[in-house]
Amino acid sequence: MSEWTDSQPTQEQDELLHKYLVFSVDESYALELSKVREIMEYKPITRVPETPAYIVGVMNRHGSVVPVIDMRKRFHQPDLENASRRCTIIIRFDGGHLGLLVDNVTDLIDIAPEMISPPPQVGKSYSHVFIKAIGIYKEQMVMIVDADKLVNLDDLAALPEELAEEEPAAAEKKAGRKAKK
């Protein structure tokens, strides 16, 4: 899937409004397409210390560093045996990007607004907090994930950190060259 820029004409945004990306982590979940930036094949992930377990680390997305959460861990499901066939959905999150490691991406669907209802309040499902709404698609129930709640920012006690905010993308080759010397 190709990428689109952040500043989309509103018309296109409207078209995206009812589109959902369906991915599976044992069960199927839907994600608003307007949140999705890109789907990437599995790439090695570098672990980061002192993060909640569901944050599996960081990965390289076209030269920038993106944190990745494992949706299996997030939904408290057992790990998959062959992890390398999974893929990563890159979404917009909290002013930056976030990778969601999922088993696979299965479909792109339209759900009309009238087919969407709030999540049931009964039962204490573990993944309750992440489910924004329930949609009906082809008479099947689809759980719509609330992307904004996937990472609990309180899990990462926020401390001010100002350095290295600008992206020094241009610097890459210079470093390579210096290393050669």
Partner 1 sequence: MDDFQKEMFDVFVFETNSFLEQLEALLMEAESRDDSILEAVPEIFRIMHTIKSSSAMMGFENISKLAHRTEDLFYFIREKKPAQVDKQKLTDLVFRCVDFIRRNMNPESCSEDPASTIQEIGQYLDTLAQGNAPQPKEPPMPEPVAAPVQGGIPAPTAQADAPSPVVQAPDATPPAPVFQRRASDRVGCSLRILFKPNCAMIGLRAFELTTKVGRLQAGVVAQPTDDDPEGDEILASKGLLLTLPSSEQVEEIIKQLEASPFVGSVTRADEAPRRRASDVAAPSASDSAYTGPDRRSGDARNSLYMGIEIKKLDKLINLSGEIIIASMGAAHAFEQGDDEKTLIALEGLHRLILDVQDQTLSLRMVSLRDTFHKLNRSVRDATGKLQKKVDFVMAGEDTAVDRNVIDHLFSPLMHILRNAVDHGIELPQEREAAGKPAVGKISLSASIQGDQAVISVMDDGRGINRAIVMQIALDHGLITQEQAQKMSDEEVNALIFLPGFSTKSDVTELSGRGVGMDVVNESVRKLNGRIHVSSVEGQGTRIDLRIPLTLAILEALLVRADQEVFAIPSSVVREIFTPDVSTLRQANGQDVIIHRDACYPVVRMSDIFEMPHRSYEEGLMILINANGDQFALFIHEVLQQQSIVVKPTPALLKSIKGLYGCTILGSGQVCLIIDVVGLLESRVKR
What residues make contact with partner 1 under the rule CB under 8 A?
43-51, 55, 57-60, 63-67, 93-98, 151, 153, 156-159, 161-168, 170-179
In the bound state with partner 1, the residue whose beta carbon lies nearer, of 122 and 171, is 171
Smallest distance, partner 1 to C-beta of residue 111, A: 29
Give the shortest CB-176-to-partner 1 separation in angstroms. Answer: 8
| Helix/strand/coil for 110 | strand
Nearer to partner 1, 17 or 156 (CB): 156
At closest approach, how far in Å is the CB of 59 from partner 1? 6
Nearer to partner 1, 122 or 179 (CB): 179
List, as own/partner pairs, every contact residues 71-75 make where C-beta atoms lie below 8 angstroms and the sequence separation is at least 24, other chains included.
Answer: 71/23, 71/25, 71/29, 71/100, 71/101, 71/102, 72/25, 72/26, 72/101, 72/103, 74/127, 74/130, 74/150, 75/25, 75/26, 75/126, 75/127, 75/130
Nearest to partner 1 of 124, 177 (CB atom): 177
Residue 34 dihedral angles phi and psi, to the nearest 5°? -65, -20
